[in-house]
Structure 1
Amino acid sequence: MKKKWLSVYNSYYKNGTAFNKLDSIYGKTNFIFQKWLKHPSFDKYWRSKMPDKKDFAKINIPVLTLTGYYDADQRGAMYYYNEHHKNNKNANHYLVIGPYGHSGVISAVDEEYNGYKIDSIAKINIEEISFQWFDYILEGKKKPEFLKDKVNYQVMGSNEWKSAPKINKISNGKLKLFLNKTKLEEIEPKLGYISQTVNFLERKDTLQSFSDEKILDNKLSPEYLKDRLIFESNVFEKSFEINGSFTGNLKVSINKKDMDVILTVYEKLSSGQYLKLSHEYFARASYAKDNTKRNLLRPNVVENIPIKNTFFTSRKVEKGSKLIVALGIRKSADVQINYGTGKDVSEETIADAKEPLEVKWYNDSYIEIPVMQN
């Protein structure tokens, strides 16, 4: 089955076919797939399938959410967690989150995940905690001892679990870093920009496998960093904790009407190894401000693209480490390719790629990292 899908994706990519033909390449039109593609916005179609504010306000049963820093479905889990607390001041909703992928939180936690050996204390029995939870809410037994408070998170690198009553209690500051040429700087630089050109006609980099990028590696993988710029901070003189989801703002101008952004944050250890701190952040520029309505960019006009709804993580950053940001344009065989014409992206083809994408990344762009400092 994997070989079949590799063939389908590579055929779509190499031939520059429209994304809405993916099911046909596989061999059969899929009604559900086609229906989903007709709704690229968070419109009534999608909202009708989810609880609204009034529904969340009525959820008065105890809820336990389990997810991971590398769980591709983390943002969905956190959406329900955040909306429940936002709309119900008495929400009895607990969160457990640690250095796990999707399979880890639905089946069993492994001691190693994609090259990263998790702290020994992070090797928890999720099944046992789940059974204890059901005994607690259905049988009236004692609440699982593991749940010390409403928010329970494992600080990678510390071999410690921490707890807090609310998400906003897990950090007490922000580390603001500007993207200045090749550096991450805490002081806002003199205004300038770095240019990037992305040629969507280039299709040599076909998909070789579905393997994930290593979480801990001796180098940054070129397979995952194509069409990206690398920004590096100074060495940190003392350790600190990153707790939560980063935010920020990208100041850009492009020669087209849209683009798909990808951003990943790493810790570069004093050993020279790179630790990926969470799942990648993806954003379509035209939906970055409002996911219910597409707002196309104006060609060659400086625009702001807010960074939000990123992945939650927790990590003790060691003295002697640096932070690395890999920022660029998402262009891969296993995803939609946004050629920037402003048309429905699922209908665009390689015929729309005649003009390369030209990006100016302005150096008053920044990311803000939530930190806990003593």
Structure 2
Amino acid sequence: MFRGKPLLVTKFAKLLAWCKNGALIVTHRNADIDSVAAALALSYSLSSYSGNLFKVCSPQGVDSVSKRVLQALGFSVPNMRECAAEKVVFVDVSSVTQVENVEFSKCSFIDHHAVNTLIDVCETHVYDPESKATSALLAEVLMLSGYSIPRSYATLLLAGIMFDTKFLRILNSRLLKVVDWLLNSGADIEDVSRLLTQQEVPYAERVARLRSLSRMGVYSIGSDYLMTITCIGAYESSSLKYSIEAGSDIAIALTPRESEARVTIRASTRLVKELEAPIAAELAKYIGERLGGGGGGHEAAAGASVPINTIKDIERLLIEFFSARGYKIRVLERGRWIEECV
């Protein structure tokens, strides 16, 4: 069964063996469709391999796009209660700060983020930062290992890939082979396109976007780039998406909780290309480590968790981070984000 690209296939075989007697599959919190699709497809693969049932848990639930896709394709939304097991498999997770309050003794993971700190924590993994999505990475190892999957799972994995690659705008020959395999497995690309482009926005999400704008601070990075910072209680990804579309090169949302604050970061395609660096992941890691938390992610999308009493230090760290790269930060509009978060 295990043929093809030796290293990925070997790592996947080790992951299967590690999970054979049972493990809980865990996505990152507020999971997007890439994370959820990979988790559910991994659950199906592990169950087929071992004969055991592998449950999926999503801390704090899944995002609105994931709910829409799962319901349309006939999948149940993963459990969002507290996640706990002796052995867990983290999916599309780059740091334990993305899954706070998950209780476990041993872990493994499958992931594609540019920066991943679970390597120092978990026993085994399938990790490739060159893969374009975790759904793509899982589909690739299934393809190379000789697995076949039902049409519904092929469509689900294609949804994860198209979401994370911005409708295949981030494409190479390797990913093209994976997409071809999924289509030959029955994936419905028309269904995926329709589900991912539905524009109906819930009332609460529209309120969150407007609150984000009303609190936003605007900063220049050197003479060419713009950065925005806001404080918001929910729908961070949605709010940051519109900040980037409005002209931000770096968009940051802070979400205070009881004892910590979540830092969500998005970077424009232009900034990533011109700096030739996984800037969002590096910034999240820098903020997390300097403030006693942790962080990581993709080149254009990342996150960190920091102690709640360190929010006031984030502006200083942003200045330090970009100054070290030769850029001067200038305040264009202070906004109300600090007052709202502290």
Scaled to the shorter chain, the TM-score interval is under 0.3
- Larger helix proportion, structure 1 or 2? 2
Higher relative contact order (CA 8 A, sep 6+): 1
Higher strand residue share? 1
Scaled by the length of structure 2, the TM-score of the pair is 0.26
